[in-house]
Chain A
Amino acid sequence: MPPIINTDATSLRSEPASSSEPKDPAAFSCPLPLPAGERILLGHGSGGKLSAELLREIFLPALGNPVLDRLEDQAVVALNGIRLAVTTDSFVVKPLFFRGGDIGSLAVHGTINDLAMGGAVPLWLSAAFILEEGLPIESLKRVVVSMQLAAASADVQIITGDTKVVEKGSADGLFINTTGIGRVRDNVSFSASLARPGDVLLVSGFLGDHGIAILAEREGLQFETQVVSDSAALHTLVADLLEVTHEVRCLRDPTRGGLSSTLNEIAESSRVGMELDETAIPVREEVRGACEMLGLDPLYVANEGKLVAVVAPSVAQQALHALQSHPLGKDAAIIGRVTSDHPRMVVMRTPFGTTRIVDMLSGDQLPRIC
């Protein structure tokens, strides 16, 4: 018999979680406001409004339960008094190899980071491979070795796996799905719903490096200085942060959809507004240049080795210092604060002293024509 997992409804939320009554499958009806005949668009995978629509209209009505409904990057469940963080992620990056990493190291880092953002010490990973017929064995070997190196240096083990092969054309080289399990530290409970007016927003470094490194590789773009993906495991950075304070409301890694999607999610979930200072947001010169050329906004570009922290105002400076003292956080910055004004909206103060909205991405970010 599988172990009974008790959901931990008290530690993460100030208000009680919604009903945990099991759904009667016969009574279940999926409220599908999406018009019949609609299809999945690439934008449904962008982490923006369309992704949220899928969650709201397809996944949660069917699969919802108190743990899933929290919509954190990891589920936290309790087993015999031990809190475990569980997360799963799929990796479909193209190209498989890029400056600063590959699909294998990315899968390990991404999964570790989802655990770390829940305040967990990452312990075990699974790895499932979907291989396209015709993939060079050498590519698979490189990816697997890279996963092993990434896991070893992060002190986690890959303890189970699976391999499937599909016909040529049914996948794009190689996809990886991972699941991660970690142990949540005592006395921490982070949630996107816990941001309060006055809280301070930090990021751990330059934004947009991963997305631009991938795009540059894909489009064959050349810059004076090559942008390298920031793919990295952030659990030791989180550990250093938690050494100095537990007054952390929420940690998130701003992956697809970038900083703007992450902040909008937190603002939505906590029903608060956010005010950013445009001049304080760290973006590399090369990334800004590439975004100018491609008609993109760095705030929407993916990161794979950065975190966003929402912390109590009293510990903001300590938190900043802790991040900056770690090699992966040396360019960390305070970028804004949480406010009770304009709830559920992220507003940016421009260098001109004016304000503008930083909206959630609607569909994919598209290059503008002129």
Chain B
Amino acid sequence: MKYLDEYRDARIARALAAEIRRRSSRPWVLMEICGGQTHTLMRYGIDELLGDSVDLVHGPGCPVCVTPLETIDRAIALARRPEVTLVSYGDMLRVPGSDTDLFHVKAEGGDVRIVYSPTDAVNLARSFPDRKVVFFAIGFETTAPAHAMAVLQAERLGLKNFSLLVSHVLVPPAIRTLLRHPKNRVQGFIAPGHVCTVVGCHEYEDLVREFRVPIVVGGFEPIDLLEAIRMLVVQLEESRAELENQYVRSVQYDGNRPAQEAVARVFTIADRKWRGIGPIAGSGLFLKPNYAAFDAERLFDLADICAQEPAECISAEVLLGHKKPTDCTAFGTRCTPEKPLGAPMVSSEGACAAYYQYRRHLVTL
């Protein structure tokens, strides 16, 4: 496949890995933020390729994983209402709420649909004016523009039966929380390339200055990640802390302005709770008051639904990079993708699920 195979080339990968091993004088602790990047690292066995030259820990960037349990319970409550069609990305359906998941609600007769794009949800609302169509809008800065556009489109069409259940989170406040944590051990970050494609690099430059930590904006293919790791190791070995962009084929310094404008028009920033981590100040996007008519939380009065995380799960320590999934005593035994105890095991992009899916032959359970 053109534009992909080049970034999966084994010869280049081995050369990059050899260079990283040669240059690294100690096992630098590096974190990739995005779940898509975690998935690639595990799928291609980059950890195995790099040996002890770096210590890879995995960040909180799986949007499905960090969606709070109570938000999932709210989606489930909505899907159970006879007048509601709940529309979602596929991988949210398997995520267990407090007592069930959306697949089971669908099996009970709930109207739950999977789409690839929020535009499909708008089209459903147009086609079925008698149904209340709620789109489960989750994700980071990457999916926010499409969700904003869906709201703007629904407004333009004058739709009264379309709304969003919003659970949007922002990456930089999470990195800040992580770096301020007394137990932080992360020495360099691979920033999420698709998030930066939308928002640009400004905020990451601020983080570099504030914490004197090197950050490389990275892509999602194995060569992208090896290249980003190499750039981080070189910076660390030279005692530099700069923002660098490995993912130049997608990320421009200022990001995508029209996308940013759409998000700014529809959403506002406020505190948001992350599953497995807890509340983080200024880390969430919420619909602005003038778009309240599209806000499912207001329309359906869901505020009473609350939930408690299972106590055994060490997801906070995993998501903050303090521990690896395999450090957990429940990993692969009491906690599996079929019966997850917490956030990082629930989606294939979560760190625990990625370890379980691809790497468990290398660990003793």
Contacts and interface: CB of A to CB of B under 8 A. Distances in A.
Interface of A: 38-43, 49, 219, 285, 288-289, 292, 294, 342, 345, 347, 350-357, 359, 362-363, 366-370
A359 B337 CA distance: 11
A366 B94 contact: yes
Contacts of B52: none
B139 A370 contact: yes
Contact of B338 (A288, A357, A362): A362
Contacts of A292: 1, 4
A294 B116 CA distance: 8
A351 B12 CA distance: 11
B183 interface: no
A361 to B, nearest CB: 11
B326 to A, nearest CB: 14
A33 to B, nearest CB: 12
Given A356-B45, A362-B337, A362-B338, A369 B361 contact: no
Interface in B15-63: 17, 34-36, 39, 42-46, 48-49, 63
B164 interface: no
23 contacts: A42-B106, A49-B338, A219-B116, A288-B1, A292-B4, A345-B361, A352-B14, A352-B17, A352-B45, A354-B44, A355-B45, A355-B362, A356-B44, A356-B45, A356-B359, A359-B357, A366-B90, A367-B91, A368-B39, A369-B90, A370-B36, A370-B143, A370-B194
B274 to A, nearest CB: 16
Contacts of A41: 103-104, 106-107
A351 B10 contact: yes
A356 B356 CA distance: 10
Question: Which 8 pairs from chain A and chain B are nearest by CB?
Answer: A354-B45, A366-B90, A351-B10, A39-B107, A356-B358, A354-B48, A367-B90, A369-B89
Interface of B: 1, 4, 8, 10, 13-14, 17, 34-36, 39, 42-46, 48-49, 63-64, 89-94, 103-104, 106-108, 114, 116, 138-140, 142-143, 194, 222, 337-338, 347-349, 357-362
Given A355-B361, A356-B45, A356-B359, A368 B108 contact: no
Contacts of B46: 352, 354
A367 B116 contact: yes
Contacts of A43: 103
B103 A350 contact: no
B293 to A, nearest CB: 26
A356 B139 contact: no
Contacts of A42: 103, 106-107
Nearest to A351: B10
Contact of B44 (A285, A345, A350, A362): A350
Nearest to A342: B361
Contacts of B13: 351-352
Given A367-B116, A370-B142, A356 B108 contact: no
Interface of B is mostly: helix
Given A355-B45, A357-B361, A362-B337, 11 more contacts: A41-B103, A42-B106, A285-B1, A345-B361, A351-B13, A355-B362, A356-B42, A369-B90, A370-B34, A370-B139, A370-B140
Residue of A289, A294, A362 with most partner-chain B CB within 10 A: A362
Contacts of B142: 370
Nearest to B105: A39
Contacts, number: 104
Contacts of B139: 369-370
A345 B359 CA distance: 11
Nearest to B358: A356
A49 B94 CA distance: 14
B107 A355 contact: no
A42 B349 CA distance: 22
Nearest to A359: B357
A345 B356 CA distance: 12
A357 B347 CA distance: 17
A353 B361 contact: no
Contacts of A288: 1
A41 to B, nearest CB: 5
Contact of B64 (A39, A294, A345, A369): A369
Contacts of B42: 356
A58 to B, nearest CB: 15
Given A49-B338, A355-B48, A366 B8 contact: no
A359 B360 CA distance: 10
A357 B143 contact: no
Contacts of A357: 357-361
A338 B333 CA distance: 26
Contacts of A355: 45, 48, 361-362
B71 to A, nearest CB: 15
Given A39-B108, A356-B42, A369-B64, A351 B358 contact: no
Nearest to A355: B45
Nearest to A345: B361
B43 to A, nearest CB: 6
Contact of B104 (A39, A285, A350, A370): A39
Nearest to B63: A369
A369 to B, nearest CB: 5
A285 B5 CA distance: 11
A353 B49 contact: yes
A354 B347 CA distance: 23
Contacts of B103: 41-43, 363
B1 to A, nearest CB: 6
Given A354-B45, A357-B357, A357-B360, A369 B94 contact: no
Contacts of B140: 370
A370 B1 CA distance: 19
Contacts of B116: 219, 294, 367
A370 B37 CA distance: 10
A337 to B, nearest CB: 16
Residue of A40, A41, A356 with most partner-chain B CB within 10 A: A356
B348 A368 contact: yes
A39 B106 CA distance: 10
A276 to B, nearest CB: 13
